Amino acid sequence: MKELSSSYGRVFIGSKDECFRTAVFLAEGQRGRNPAKRHFTWALTGGSTPQEWYEWCVAKDALSPVTVATAHWFVSDERYVRPDSHESNFGNADRLLLKPLGIAADRKHPWSTNIAPGLAAVEFGRMNAPWFGRDRTFDVCFLGMGDDGHTASLFPGSPLLRDDGKQFFAAIDVPGKGWRLTVTPSGLKAAGLIVVMALGAGKAGALHRVLAGESDPMRTPSQVLKNCRDKVVWLVDEAAAAKFLQG
């Protein structure tokens, strides 16, 4: 893959298959980096790209037996819907990846969507603290990026981009989309490794705006990753990178 550096993290450009394989390679590497830590935590994310990646992982038997046997699973953000909804990020991860891999229930950590959203965000941090460890959120946090430049559930204009009160997780009522539960900018800073997958021509404009545009995270939320660029890796295919590479 081609590798470039940017103010928002390292950028790897290659085919979709290379992006999928590198996502596994990076996460597996992160698991091996800190053997003294008691638990390895991996947050997946929502949208169509991860769903394709889940099916690829299962078909290729891509995850190591150690990861399958020991990792604790989360999603970086969640829609406030029932887990059996096809809108549920954890629900989709469970149906397409965790169930086919036979992951035990005690290593699956969905957000609660049957209690008030504000409470669900507090509970997510409190209940999962034993897995995360001190001042840490996920060891590996996967993210996607929308064509409006959003990432996780940090949408343009989100008050969490201005001030998240140093909380790692929050509930936010997104105009036109309803309640979301999400890792915050502070929570991203407290992650071990952040992998952003952006695939397809539909992402070309947003990727160009993030990496080469004026710095304005309120309008282009993925730019919050500048604050933790040392641990951010972008995996983008040629179609998504096209506009950025043209300059």
Least separation in angstroms between residue 79's CB and ligand 6PG is: 6
Is there binding between residue 77 and ligand 6PG (CB under 6 A)? yes
Count of beta carbons in the 10 Å neighbourhood of residue 87:
13
Residue 151 DSSP code: B
Is there binding between residue 89 and ligand 6PG (CB under 6 A)? yes
Which are the contacts of 105, defined by CB distance < 8 A and separation ≥ 6? none
Least separation in angstroms between residue 220's CB and ligand 6PG is: 13
Angle at 72 between CA 71 and CA 78, to 5 degrees: 135
Tokens of 29: 């590497």
User: Of 30 and 153, which has the nearer Cβ to ligand 6PG?
Assistant: 153
Considering only residues 22 to 51 of the shown chain, the ones binding ligand 6PG according to CB under 6 A are 45-49
Least separation in angstroms between residue 201's CB and ligand 6PG is: 12
Count of helix runs (H) and strand runs (E) in the chain = 10, 10
Considering only residues 151 to 190 of the shown chain, the ones binding ligand 6PG according to CB under 6 A are 151-153
Residue 16 near residue 49 (C-beta atoms within 8 A): no
Least separation in angstroms between residue 87's CB and ligand 6PG is: 8
Considering only residues 111 to 150 of the shown chain, the ones binding ligand 6PG according to CB under 6 A are 144-146, 150
Least separation in angstroms between residue 209's CB and ligand 6PG is: 15
Which are the contacts of 81, defined by CB distance < 8 A and separation ≥ 6? 87, 88, 91, 113
User: Of 67 and 151, which has the nearer Cβ to ligand 6PG?
Assistant: 151
Helix axes 16-33, 48-60, angle to 10 degrees: 80
User: Of 89 and 184, which has the nearer Cβ to ligand 6PG?
Assistant: 89
In whole angstroms, what is the distance from residue 229 CA to residue 216 CA?
16
Residue from 90, 97, 38, 35 nearest 63 by CA: 97
Is there binding between residue 83 and ligand 6PG (CB under 6 A)? no
Least separation in angstroms between residue 136's CB and ligand 6PG is: 21
By CB under 6 A, name the binding residues for ligand 6PG: 45-49, 77, 89, 144-146, 150-153
